[in-house]
Each structure stands twice: as structure tokens, then as C-alpha cells.
């Protein structure tokens, strides 16, 4: 057996490392129709081979346990242990998420790809990882699942859906093996069964990946919370604050941002779905309107100061960027036109070009605000 293996490896320009081999010797048991494992030493080329001691023994290969029958040893309990360890670690939420995404998922993907885990198991793994991430972010478990699988640049969490990605990886590996000049490798690839979902079947790998992404974007936008989220908004926003983690935003802010994106902030309207009674839903601060995230962020008189600060921060920041790019900038200068007074946030000039900028923080698809501001801008451009 070792000779055959050595010949095969020689063709691939590889060699056998005897120290890492394990020899298995099976002996028939007298009077019974079973086999037992013998641990008598075996010699090859004058060297003793390490022996397999029992049938439950395993070989460790790149951190993956492989049983003596050639199957990858993998269990959900192992994953549960890993997730528990991450969740109990003294880390900040975004660090935990980063740990899951960069370490745990990498290991898991590698094991699952080599294992014979079936679709239902893969689905279970996806669900467990997703649930853990939501718990880390103090998020309601009712937050849309599709959001967790959206890529980071679309404000999602960027978790893989193993049910779709693992069969795709297995198929890609098989296709690579099929085109191998070695007949043995090509032969093995024929024998690997692949159960692929209808979504990715028949597509090449890149198209399949895109199909998976599109599926989740569609799924997210069709959920009750996703519907509120403008499709254009999702594609327009570049969420640098989600990439940076705690380096850019504080841990608490990171949690809030993710809640905002999924629209699961615990406003009264969110806590009491389906309730129409105003007394239950009214704002806990001003009590004049229904407590929605729109009210808290943009309308409530109690947050007016914070709203002003946000507006000024954006205007100042924009002004600074323009100055860096060689523009002349005037901040909040009074402009008189006819009998009206205007006080735009920024007036800027560069050579013959000029622009008047007024900053507003509109909420989601509140385009009426944008339009009225545009008209105002046009009126000023004629001055
Ligand atoms: Zn209020």
C-alpha cells in the first residue's frame, strides 16, 4: 500500500512523510466474523511505522481530525463549544464578531468542505452561527436572517450560508480535479457526490456566488423591516464604520448601528407590534407623537440638540474636505434675495465654479425633504 501511495505522490512531485503516516493492521478474530486492530509494529524500509491503536483512533491533518476509515470527524457539539467560548470571552461585541468571521468560520468552512455533512446539517450550522452573532449584538432574534448574509458593503453582517457555499466549494474542487492530467485524481473526482441547491446548479462558480448574493438582497428587501429600507440607500451607503469596528466607532455604537440597519431599535412601536393605542405607543420623552425611530432621530424636541450637533458636524466635515481640495468655503453666510433671507450651510468657490450646499439628514426614503432643498439651492444659484 505504501509503495502504491509513494508512486502516486512521486507523480505529483510529492513524497511520503513516514513520521506522519499511521499503519493499520486488521486481524480476523477466530470463530467470529469480525476484525480486530493489531498493534504489532510494522516495518517499512527499515523504519517502524506509527500504528493505529484502535478503530476509534484518528489522524490529525491540518487541524482536522480524520478517522481511520477516511471520514472527517466533525460534530455540532464542537461548534457549540467554539461559539460558547467566543460568546463568553472578555471581548467587545465587534471583536467577537470579527473573531467568529475570521477564525471560527475559516476553520468551520475547511472542515465542512472536507466532511460529508449533509444539507440539513449545513443548515443547522448556519442557523447556530447566525443566532450567536445576533445574541452578541443584543439583537432581537426576529431581526431578518437575510441581513446576516448580506455582504458588509451592503450593511449586512457578511456571514456565509453554508448550505449554499459548501456544496459550491466542493463542486469547484471537483471540477479542478477532473481537469487533472493524473487519471487517479480525475477518477476520484467522479466518485464524490455533490448535492447542490437549485439556485446554484449549472452556474459557474462566479455566477453562482452572485446568485447567492442577489437572493439575500431580494430576501432582505422583501422582509417587513427590509421593505422600509430603500434599495437605493443600501447600494449608496459605504459603511466604513462597520469595517473599522471599535477603531472607528465605540462598541456600544457598533451595536446601535447594526440595530439601526436592521430596524430593530427598541422603540415603543417596535416593542408593541400591532398595537394601535396611542397611550401605549407615545414617545417616552415628549409624549406628543408615536415613538418610532424616525421620531427619535429626526423629530423629537428632546433630541433637537443632538440633531443640531449632527447637522453641524456634517457641514463642518464637508467644509474641511472642500478646503483640502482647494475650494474657498464660507460657512453660514447670510444671502439676501428679493425680500427673503437665506443662510446656506456652505458657499464654496473654486475658480469660475461655485456651489451652494445645504446639509440635511433625511430619513430613509423621505424624498420630499430632498426635493424642497434642491429647489432652494437652484434659487440661490441664480444670485
Ligand atoms: Zn418625542
Task: Quote the CA–CA distance of 134 and 140 in Å, as a whole number.
Answer: 7
How far is the centre of ligand 1, averaged over its atoms, from the C-alpha of 74 (Å)?
Answer: 52
Considering the domain architecture, whether residues 36 and 111 belong to the same structural domain is answered as no
How far is the centre of ligand 1, averaged over its atoms, from the C-alpha of 290 (Å)?
Answer: 8
3-class state of residue 199 by DSSP:
coil
Whether 119 is covered by a domain: the verdict is: yes
How far is the centre of ligand 1, averaged over its atoms, from the C-alpha of 276 (Å)?
Answer: 17
Please choose, from the candidates 147, 159, 55, 143, the residue with its C-alpha nearest in 3D space to the C-alpha of residue 97.
Answer: 159
Sole residue written with cell 470527524: 73
> What confidence score (pLDDT) does residue 294 get?
80
How far is the centre of ligand 1, averaged over its atoms, from the C-alpha of 269 (Å)?
Answer: 12
How far is the centre of ligand 1, averaged over its atoms, from the C-alpha of 303 (Å)?
Answer: 8
Whether 268 is covered by a domain: the verdict is: no
Whether 70 is covered by a domain: the verdict is: no
Residue where a domain stops, chosen among 240, 265, 295: 240
How far is the centre of ligand 1, averaged over its atoms, from the C-alpha of 224 (Å)?
Answer: 24
Considering the domain architecture, whether residues 132 and 49 belong to the same structural domain is answered as no
Task: Quote the CA–CA distance of 66 and 266 in Å, as a whole number.
Answer: 47
How far is the centre of ligand 1, averaged over its atoms, from the C-alpha of 266 (Å)?
Answer: 14
Residue where a domain stops, chosen among 205, 240, 275: 240
How far is the centre of ligand 1, averaged over its atoms, from the C-alpha of 268 (Å)?
Answer: 11
Considering the domain architecture, whether residues 135 and 205 belong to the same structural domain is answered as yes
Residue where a domain stops, chosen among 240, 263, 297: 240
How far is the centre of ligand 1, averaged over its atoms, from the C-alpha of 242 (Å)?
Answer: 28
Q: Which long-range contacts (CB under 8 A, 24 or more apart) does 369-377 make?
A: 376/342, 377/344
How far is the centre of ligand 1, averaged over its atoms, from the C-alpha of 301 (Å)?
Answer: 6
- What letter would DSSP give residue 357? E
Considering the domain architecture, whether residues 213 and 360 belong to the same structural domain is answered as no
3-class state of residue 265 by DSSP:
coil
Considering the domain architecture, whether residues 115 and 217 belong to the same structural domain is answered as yes
Whether 234 is covered by a domain: the verdict is: yes
How far is the centre of ligand 1, averaged over its atoms, from the C-alpha of 156 (Å)?
Answer: 29
How far is the centre of ligand 1, averaged over its atoms, from the C-alpha of 112 (Å)?
Answer: 50
Considering the domain architecture, whether residues 333 and 226 belong to the same structural domain is answered as no
* pLDDT tens, N- to C-terminus, the chain (383 residues): 677 877 887 877 787 777 777 777 778 888 887 777 777 777 777 777 777 777 777 777 777 788 777 778 888 888 899 999 999 999 888 889 888 988 899 888 988 888 888 888 899 999 999 999 999 988 877 778 888 888 877 778 889 999 888 888 888 888 888 888 777 788 877 777 777 777 777 778 888 888 888 888 888 877 766 665 555 555 556 666 666 555 677 888 888 888 877 778 888 888 888 888 888 888 888 888 888 888 888 888 888 898 889 888 888 888 898 899 888 888 877 777 677 777 778 888 888 888 888 777 766 545 555 555 555 555 455 44
The answer to whether the pTM exceeds 0.75 is no
Range(s) of the domain holding residue 51: 2-55
Considering the domain architecture, whether residues 112 and 195 belong to the same structural domain is answered as yes
What region does 364 belong to: left with phi over 0, alpha with psi -120 to 50, or beta?
A: left
How far is the centre of ligand 1, averaged over its atoms, from the C-alpha of 19 (Å)?
Answer: 71
How far is the centre of ligand 1, averaged over its atoms, from the C-alpha of 289 (Å)?
Answer: 6
How far is the centre of ligand 1, averaged over its atoms, from the C-alpha of 296 (Å)?
Answer: 6
What region does 183 belong to: left with phi over 0, alpha with psi -120 to 50, or beta?
A: alpha
> What confidence score (pLDDT) does residue 232 get?
53
Considering the domain architecture, whether residues 115 and 46 belong to the same structural domain is answered as no
Whether 250 is covered by a domain: the verdict is: no
How far is the centre of ligand 1, averaged over its atoms, from the C-alpha of 291 (Å)?
Answer: 6
Considering the domain architecture, whether residues 92 and 228 belong to the same structural domain is answered as yes
How far is the centre of ligand 1, averaged over its atoms, from the C-alpha of 316 (Å)?
Answer: 27
> What confidence score (pLDDT) does residue 383 get?
41
Domain count, the chain: 3
Please choose, from the candidates 325, 321, 323, 329, the residue with its C-alpha nearest in 3D space to the C-alpha of residue 355.
Answer: 329
Task: Quote the CA–CA distance of 88 and 82 in Å, as a whole number.
Answer: 10
Rounded to 5 degrees, what are φ and ψ at 329? -130, 130
> What confidence score (pLDDT) does residue 47 get?
75
Whether 349 is covered by a domain: the verdict is: yes
Whether 65 is covered by a domain: the verdict is: no
Q: What are the angstrom distances between the C-alpha of 212 and each of 31, 130, 205? A: 57, 17, 11
Percent of the residues in the chain that have a pLDDT greater than 90, as a whole number: 7
> What confidence score (pLDDT) does residue 80 get?
92
How far is the centre of ligand 1, averaged over its atoms, from the C-alpha of 274 (Å)?
Answer: 20
How far is the centre of ligand 1, averaged over its atoms, from the C-alpha of 302 (Å)?
Answer: 6
How far is the centre of ligand 1, averaged over its atoms, from the C-alpha of 262 (Å)?
Answer: 21
Please choose, from the candidates 334, 331, 292, the residue with its C-alpha nearest in 3D space to the C-alpha of residue 314.
Answer: 331
> What confidence score (pLDDT) does residue 247 get?
67
How far is the centre of ligand 1, averaged over its atoms, from the C-alpha of 257 (Å)?
Answer: 20
Considering the domain architecture, whether residues 121 and 190 belong to the same structural domain is answered as yes
> What confidence score (pLDDT) does residue 382 get?
45
Considering the domain architecture, whether residues 37 and 97 belong to the same structural domain is answered as no
Whether 6 is covered by a domain: the verdict is: yes
Q: What are the angstrom distances between the C-alpha of 160 and each of 75, 100, 146, 147, 205? A: 19, 11, 11, 11, 15
> What confidence score (pLDDT) does residue 378 get?
52
Considering the domain architecture, whether residues 87 and 37 belong to the same structural domain is answered as no
Amino acid at each position: 500500500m505504501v509503495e502504491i501511495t509513494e508512486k502516486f505522490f512521486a507523480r505529483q512531485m510529492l513524497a511520503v512523510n513516514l513520521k506522519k503516516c499511521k499503519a493499520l493492521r486488521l486481524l480476523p478474530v477466530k470463530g467470529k466474523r469480525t476484525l480486530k486492530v493489531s498493534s504489532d509494529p510494522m516495518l517499512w524500509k527499515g523504519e517502524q511505522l506509527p500504528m493505529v491503536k484502535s478503530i476509534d483512533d484518528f489522524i490529525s491533518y491540518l487541524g482536522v481530525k480524520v478517522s481511520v476509515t477516511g471520514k472527517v470527524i466533525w460534530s455540532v457539539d464542537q461548534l457549540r463549544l467554539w461559539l460558547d467560548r467566543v460568546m463568553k470571552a472578555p471581548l467587545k461585541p465587534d471583536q467577537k464578531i470579527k473573531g467568529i468571521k475570521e477564525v471560527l468560520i475559516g476553520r468551520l468552512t475547511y472542515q465542512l468542505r472536507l466532511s460529508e455533512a449533509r444539507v440539513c446539517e449545513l443548515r443547522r450550522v448556519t442557523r447556530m452561527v447566525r443566532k450567536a452573532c445576533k445574541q452578541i449584538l443584543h439583537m432581537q432574534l426576529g431581526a431578518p436572517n437575510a441581513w446576516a448574509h448580506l455582504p458588509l458593503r451592503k450593511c449586512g453582517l457578511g456571514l456565509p450560508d453554508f448550505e449554499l457555499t459548501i456544496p459550491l466549494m466542493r463542486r469547484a474542487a471537483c471540477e479542478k480535479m477532473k481537469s487533472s492530467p493524473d487519471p487517479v485524481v480525475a477518477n476520484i473526482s467522479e466518485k464524490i457526490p455533490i448535492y447542490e441547491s437549485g439556485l446554484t446548479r449549472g452556474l459557474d462558480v462566479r455566477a453562482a456566488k452572485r446568485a447567492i448574493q442577489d437572493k439575500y438582497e431580494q430576501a432582505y428587501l422583501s422582509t417587513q423591516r427590509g421593505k422600509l429600507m430603500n434599495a437605493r440607500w443600501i447600494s449608496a451607503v459605504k459603511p466604513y464604520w462597520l469595517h473599522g469596528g471599535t477603531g472607528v466607532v465605540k462598541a456600544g455604537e457598533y451595536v446601535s448601528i447594526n440595530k439601526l440597519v436592521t430596524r430593530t431599535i427598541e422603540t415603543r412601536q417596535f416593542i408593541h407590534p400591532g398595537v394601535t393605542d396611542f397611550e401605549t405607543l407615545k414617545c417616552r420623552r415628549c409624549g406628543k407623537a408615536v415613538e418610532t425611530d424616525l421620531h427619535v432621530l429626526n423629530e423629537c424636541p428632546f433630541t433637537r440638540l443632538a440633531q443640531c450637533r449632527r447637522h453641524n458636524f456634517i457641514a463642518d466635515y464637508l467644509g474641511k474636505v472642500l478646503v483640502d481640495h482647494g475650494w474657498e468655503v464660507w460657512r453660514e453666510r447670510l444671502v439676501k434675495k428679493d425680500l427673503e433671507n437665506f443662510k446656506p450651510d456652505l458657499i464654496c468657490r473654486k475658480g469660475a465654479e461655485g456651489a451652494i450646499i445645504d446639509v440635511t439628514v433625511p430619513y430613509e426614503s423621505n424624498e420630499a425633504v430632498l426635493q424642497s432643498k434642491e429647489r432652494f439651492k437652484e434659487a440661490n444659484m441664480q444670485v
